[in-house]
Amino acid sequence: MAVPTTTVASESSEPGPPPPARWRRRAWSAFAARFVAAAGGGLLLYLSFPPRTLWWLALPAFALLWSALRGRGVRAGFGWGYLFGLAFLLPLLVWIGSLVGPVPWVALCVFEALFFGLAGAGMSLVSRLPAAPIWAAAVWIAGEALRARVPFGGLPWGRVGFGQPDGLLLPLASIGGEPLLSFATVLAGLALGEVVRRIVRDPGILRRRPAALATPAVILVLTLVAGPLAALVPATPGAPDRTVTIAAVQGNVPRLGLDFNAQRRAVLDNHVRVTEQLAADVAAGKRPKPDLVIWPENSSDIDPLQNPDAAAQIDRAARAINVPILVGAVLRNPDGRTTTNSALVWQPGVGVVERNDKRRLQPFGEYMPWRSFFQHFSSYVDRAGYFVPGPGTGAVDMAGVRVGIAICWEIAFDDLVEQSVEAGATVLAVPSNNATFGFSEMTYQQLAMSRVRAVEHDRPVIVATTSGVSATVTPDGTVTASTREFTPDVLVDRTTLKDTTTLATRLGAVPEWVLVALGVVAVGVGVVARRRTGTRVGKDDDG
């Protein structure tokens, strides 16, 4: 962000007239306008995310960002992009503060906003190229791709596409996954911003030079039309669809807060109790009998492989309902120190017949990178776990059903969900534990990711959480049933299993890498173009 300054003449130089007051006012007005546009755009992007259904706010959000970036230098582009990211992330991730306090929450946002700054710098470089919104949107995807991978495995939370489960463009996820959905949303917003910018600069443009609006207007219209058209592209059929009945159990936790793990036996007992009540309702004809049952992550923090009492409780519930249960369990490894976050297939009267360990762990939560270093800055470091990732394909067999498993935040990673589908999953289960964060938007943000994944891979999704929101999602992203937070409940859903293959599944990461390559090439062209026109890469121009 370039703040306007005045030049003071030295004693040896001839005195010159100071910059006119009118010029200074215009410079400060322009700076203030861009500041409001960048910060306001970030806030609008946050408001477009669930639990609100204001998905369309993402378009004016990026229109505002474009008004701040267009024609700026690299340094200014970085600054306005950074401000946009900070205004977006701080409210989006505020629930992290409920766990670890305000300092780590703010520190995380301050760091992650750097990726938005990099994107802003690149977008400013390409902003004067022909069809600039296309290249700028590709640069944005490059920034998201980087943020989703580094550091420590990345933080995909808050990618633009994850805010669009109710949006017009959602069907595009079945063509190119979440990256294409993000790209189209950003592109529509930038094209809108360019249309508005040209009209503001020349109010008579519609009357005198309507052709000057053609390129951004066509981009905007074609992008918005692409969403509904994508819904017409059929998935490649596989085995015939079949229907099974799946139950998701939400046992609830004794009380909110970090210390709920200290009451892990009560959490286990809650899930046993709710499952036994389900069995009683089935026997009374009040509910259909499920073919399999999904328990959430951390439903048994007591290792049932080493604790016979916990094993007996789980088997009691499995015998009562008389179907296999997917149990979220914390297992202690032979070294006596590390643990795994696992999903166990528990067969009634038999015990564990299959196991899937969490493949991608949450840094600063399930494990602490550079523990000895970060201990100098916060006592919360000591609360981080010693979890280790496990191998596997992310899919298990239950009652003849191939169930894909994305444990909690694994649903945010493209490759992990893709691996589950490629392993033959015909339904996706998302066992989660959101109790630590209390009543917050976090659980709705996570549910939104599950809805996007349903469309991306044409699979039904069953979300089971300890304290809510649990939900059942159809392959078109529709939530057919959901629970309230911190309320014991059961969802029983007749689920149509899908063995189709979407274009997004088939292409995998290809659309993302194509968009990243377009963004990188466009930045290179932008650098060359600015040097040829005599504008320094780091210097603002008039835009």
Q: Catalogue the long-range contacts made by 267-272 (C-beta closer than 8 Å, 24 or more residues apart).
A: 267/298, 267/299, 267/300, 267/301, 267/466, 268/299, 268/300, 268/301, 268/302, 268/310, 268/313, 268/314, 269/313, 270/488, 271/295, 271/296, 271/299, 271/300, 271/317, 272/313, 272/314, 272/316, 272/317
> Does 286 qualify as catalytic in the annotation?
no
Q: Report the C-alpha gap between 229 and 226 in whole angstroms.
A: 5
Q: What angle do CA 360, 42, 3 make, to 5 degrees?
A: 120
Q: List the catalytic residue out of 408, 456, 485, 512.
A: 408
| Positive or negative: CA dihedral 232, 236, 239, 244 | negative
CA neighbor of 148 nearest in space, from 391, 401, 387, 360: 360
466 close to 299: Cβ distance less than 8 angstroms: yes
* Tokens 């992330």 found at: 89
Residue among 112, 194, 297, 485 flagged as catalytic: 297
* β-pairing verdict for 427-432 and 401-405: parallel
Q: Where in 37-101 does DSSP place strands (E)?
A: none
What are residue 356's DSSP bridge partners? 343
11 is catalytic: no
Please check whether residue 96 is in contact with residue 158, taking contact to mean a CB–CB distance below 8 angstroms: no
Neighbouring residues of 295: CB distance < 8 A, sequence distance ≥ 6: 249, 251, 271, 275, 325, 326, 327, 328, 431, 464
- Amino acid (1-letter code) at residue 267: V
Establish how many alpha carbons lie within 13 A of residue 213's alpha carbon, considering only the half-sphere containing its beta carbon: 21
CA distance 470 to 462: 8
The C-alpha angle 87, 90, 91, rounded to 5 degrees, equals 95
The question of whether 109 is a catalytic residue gets the answer: no
Q: Which helix H or strand E contains 38, and what residues bound it? A: helix 21-47
Q: Which candidate in 109, 112, 144, 358 is catalytic?
A: 358
Of 395, 487, 452, residue with least CA distance to 181: 452
What is each CA distance from 138 to 89, 323, 414, 460, in whole angstroms?
A: 21, 48, 18, 30
Q: Which residues are catalytic?
A: 297, 358, 408
